[in-house]
Amino acid sequence: MNSTAETKIRAYKEAVNKKLDEYLKIQYPEEIWESMRYSVLAGGKRIRPVLTLETCNVLSGSYEKALPAACAIEMLHCQSLIHDDLPCMDNDDYRRGKLTNHKVFGESTAVLAGDALLSFAPQMIIQHTVCDDSVKLKILEEFLINAGAEKLIAGQVVDIASEGKQISKETLDFIHKNKTGALFKLSLRIGAILGGADEKILTALTEFAEKLGLAFQISDDILDETATIETLGKTPHKDKAAGKVTYLSFYGMEEAKKRLAFLCESACDILEEHGIKSEVLKEIALSINERVR
């Protein structure tokens, strides 16, 4: 990876980790905060908050304004992972190379930790974002729509309902667009709104996010098939075992890799076409393709 982009990404991650640690201080009753902290501070690539910070930075020259929202998006992502790992959903014992939340804290606390993160996240946006109220309302709306039954939850519901069934390409696209794509879109859009993007740039970055989200899910599907528990940090080969139709099972390895490369290249083209000069966004797009090579 380009070393300037790498240095910037490292700095963004450090800023996010520090803020998350600060926001999630232990309060009474300790058990719930410990459970929330366990999953949120368990590592993770922090790709979504990095996207938010860089987008705000490239448009406005600073990223700090987007830090509370970037942390909120990571909390939402962690909530979705905690719930996804539960026995009633994807049922996994490992996440980010550690035991899953319910394995350590029990199912009831894991459910509550997810719920708590979901309401604590927008609370952080409200309390800590320094911007006009109209802008705050707009980013909160984006957050709540993407976290809810129209996006993230819709994707998860159709994903679960599709297990063991032959599904159409449209249904597969619907699952990916919502289950994974919604948070990528949210990350870029909130960064862009806080960075003061005009409608044209906001639309371009939304298209960039759509391509990135789909590319990321294709790479995730491929890694589920090819990676080990050590590199993946969670149990591999779960899609096949659950009878899931994935990009890989639908298109085959060669075509899935071709589509992945094409999506990452065309995401970079969008940046170029709109004069969005971000080595970080470009490098993230390229690194999603490189994950599976």
> Which residues sit at the interface with ligand GRG, rule CB under 6 A?
44-45, 47, 77, 80-81, 83-84, 89, 96, 118, 147, 152-153, 156, 179-180, 217, 220
- Listing DSSP states for 196-256 in one string gives T--HHHHHHHHHHHHHHHHHHHHHHHHHHHH--HHHHSS-SSHHHHTT---HHHHH-HHHH
Of residues 69 and 152, the one with the C-beta less far from ligand GRG:
152
Q: Are the CB atoms for 9 and 50 separated by under 8 Å? A: yes
Q: Determine the Cα–Cα distance for residues 124 and 49; give it in Å rounded to an integer.
A: 14
Helix, strand, coil percentages in the chain from 3-state DSSP, rounded to 5 = 75, 0, 25
Of all residues in the shown chain, the one whose CB is closest to ligand GRG is 44
- In the complex, minimum distance from the CB of residue 215 to ligand GRG, in angstroms, rounded to a whole number: 11
Q: How far is the CB of 89 from ligand GRG (least distance, A)?
A: 6
Measured from the CB atom, is 187 or 201 closer to ligand GRG? Answer: 187
**Cβ distance to ligand GRG smaller for residue 99 or 153:** 153
Q: Which is nearer to ligand GRG, 208 or 216 (CB)?
A: 216
| CB-CB contact of 283 with 267 (8 Å) | no
User: 121 near 143, Cβ under 8 Å?
Assistant: yes
Residue 224 C-beta: closest distance to ligand GRG, Å: 10
Min. distance of Cβ 57 from ligand GRG in angstroms?
Answer: 20
Least CB distance to ligand GRG at residue 112 (A): 12
Nearer to ligand GRG by C-beta: 217 or 289? 217
Torsion of CA 205, 203, 214, 259, to 10 degrees: -90
- Residue 239's Cα: distance from chain center in Å? 19
